[in-house]
């Protein structure tokens, strides 16, 4: 593992007042060292640990400290055309880093996340992201490229994930459904990311595993993002971490909500909910459904071990194009993950070993996928077409009075529109908000992406 050594003062130099910083020390990328002791979030509990003399270790290379003017250039002054979305942390904009911006930083698209000072999260959550993602590196964790901390501004710069979140891909209306192969790939990759966190030398409990925090690259490789609520796991003889109950309704484990006791099995429960979302195409909580179906885990879990009932709750947008064997195994695994007894839930390493073979099952029916536009849109188009042809018929009728009555009737029949064939869409454009600036009120909260203090 790549290792770096630095101090709080050098790591967050731009967060201190100018008279506290030595002007002779320019901002620089953290350098590599040969010894490593990962910084724990518990080191932040005592304000005295932020002293200038405290030396701490930080894993990971090329963590850049950006200036606010640099990020304005990268995002075109946080233009509305670059707006990607917004969650509990704040708005996210797409940007592009030029290879001339600074040495050692390659040209690449990035996502810049700005802390909303009036939002549900604050400096501590911002700091948690830097601490965890600045040290942890894994193919299924989103890569943190750098950060900015100037005066009240707190920003994070990540690698850009072109397909956005699993939430958008799975629940967005009027778009092509995620195929079974992509769903299994996402489940396996996300499970590997969680297993890596749980099995690290200093275990990490993610605490906010949900569809909106799983980002997808161009080939649907999933990466976990948003570590603002992550916690260091129990150490030594401790069995759990006691903490204020935070998370998102529908994903948080029931024992954590009741007691505030956090363990790695709390993440396993949340994974089971996301796995259930992948199988059914339903949200973890959906108030628009009948009362008993609003909480997905409570409604679906009793049916997961019954193959006949399972077929009825599978996502209808798959149109039967999925592996029945794989679906049964995934459903059985979800049943275990959602157990109300934490000790009966599998570890994430067992989850990975169970899901991995599902990607190789070949009993998936082959057939075309057709997406039909809702009839309301077709009726509106047909009405316009009928009106146009009726106008044409009237003109022909006025210019051809010498023809027989029977001919006029034939012309009227020709003027009637024929039913249009269903339109096939491969993708639809996302609507975007308008406005500029760091504190512009242009942004709206994305559905399901905000955290709740449960």
Where are the strands (E) in 217-283, listed by range? 222-224, 231-232, 241-242, 261-262
Angle at 102 between CA 101 and CA 105, to 5 degrees: 95
According to DSSP H, which parts of 100-140 are helical?
Answer: 123-133
* 428: number of Cβ within 10 Å: 12
Segment (H or E) for 410: helix 405-415
Helix (H, G, I), strand (E, B) or coil at 134: coil
Give the DSSP letter of residue 237. Answer: T
* 244: number of Cβ within 10 Å: 8
Q: 51 Cβ partners below 8 Å, 6+ apart?
A: 8
User: Phi first, then psi: what are they for 446, rounded to 5°?
Assistant: -75, 140
Contacts by 100-108 with C-beta closer than 8 Å and gap 24+? Answer: 101/70, 101/74, 102/64, 104/29, 104/62, 105/62, 105/64, 105/145, 108/159, 108/160
**381 catalytic per annotation:** no
Q: 116 Cβ partners below 8 Å, 6+ apart?
A: 86, 89, 90, 91
Give me the catalytic one of 116, 208, 232, 267: 208
Task: Give the C-alpha separation, 23 to 19, whole Å.
Answer: 9
Q: Which of 411, 450, 453 is nearest to 213 (CA)?
A: 450
User: Phi first, then psi: what are they for 387, rounded to 5°?
Assistant: -65, -40
Task: Give the C-alpha separation, 78 to 83, whole Å.
Answer: 7
Q: Which of 153, 341, 140, 142 is nearest to 227 (CA)?
A: 142
Active site residues: 208
């Amino acid at each position: 593992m790549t290792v770096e050594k630095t101090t709080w003062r050098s790591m967050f130099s731009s967060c201190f007042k100018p008279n506290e910083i030595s002007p002779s020390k320019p901002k620089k990328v953290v350098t590599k060292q040969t010894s490593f002791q990962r910084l724990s979030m518990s080191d932040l509990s005592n304000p005295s640990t932020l002293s200038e003399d405290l030396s701490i270790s930080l894993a990971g290379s090329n963590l850049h400290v950006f200036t606010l003017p640099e990020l304005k250039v990268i995002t075109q002054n946080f233009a509305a055309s670059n707006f990607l979305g917004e969650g509990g942390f704040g708005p996210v904009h797409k940007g592009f880093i030029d290879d001339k911006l600074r040495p050692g930083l390659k040209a690449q698209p990035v996502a810049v996340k700005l802390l909303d000072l009036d939002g549900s999260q604050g400096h501590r959550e911002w700091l948690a992201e830097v601490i965890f993602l600045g040290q942890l590196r894994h193919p299924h964790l989103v890569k943190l490229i750098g950060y900015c901390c100037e005066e009240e501004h707190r920003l994070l710069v990540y690698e850009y994930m072109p397909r956005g979140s699993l939430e958008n891909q799975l629940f967005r209306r009027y778009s092509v459904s995620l195929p079974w192969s992509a769903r299994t790939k996402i489940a396996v990759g996300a499970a590997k990311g969680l297993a890596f966190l749980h099995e690290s030398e200093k275990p990490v409990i993610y605490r906010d595993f949900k569809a909106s925090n799983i980002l997808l690259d161009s080939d649907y490789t999933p990466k976990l993002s948003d570590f603002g609520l992550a916690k260091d796991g129990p150490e030594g003889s401790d069995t759990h971490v006691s903490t204020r109950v935070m998370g998102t309704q529908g994903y948080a484990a029931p024992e954590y909500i009741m007691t505030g006791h956090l363990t790695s099995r709390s993440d396993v429960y949340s994974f089971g909910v996301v796995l259930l979302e992948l199988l059914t195409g339903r949200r973890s909580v959906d108030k628009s459904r009948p009362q008993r179906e609003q909480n997905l885990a409570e409604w679906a879990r009793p049916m997961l071990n019954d193959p006949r009932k399972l077929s009825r709750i599978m996502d209808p947008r798959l149109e039967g194009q999925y592996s029945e064997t794989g679906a049964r195994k995934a459903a059985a695994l979800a049943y275990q993950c959602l157990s109300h007894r934490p000790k009966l839930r599998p570890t994430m390493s067992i989850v990975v070993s169970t899901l991995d073979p599902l990607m190789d099952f070949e009993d998936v029916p082959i057939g075309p996928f057709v997406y039909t536009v809702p009839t309301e849109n077709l009726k509106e188009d047909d009405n316009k077409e009928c009106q146009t042809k009726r106008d044409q018929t009237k003109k022909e009728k006025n210019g051809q009075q010498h023809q027989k009555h029977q001919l006029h009737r034939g012309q009227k029949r020709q003027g009637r529109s024929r039913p249009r064939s269903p339109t096939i869409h491969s993708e639809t454009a996302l609507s975007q908000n308008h406005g500029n600036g760091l504190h512009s009120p242009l942004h709206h909260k994305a559905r399901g992406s905000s955290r709740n203090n449960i």
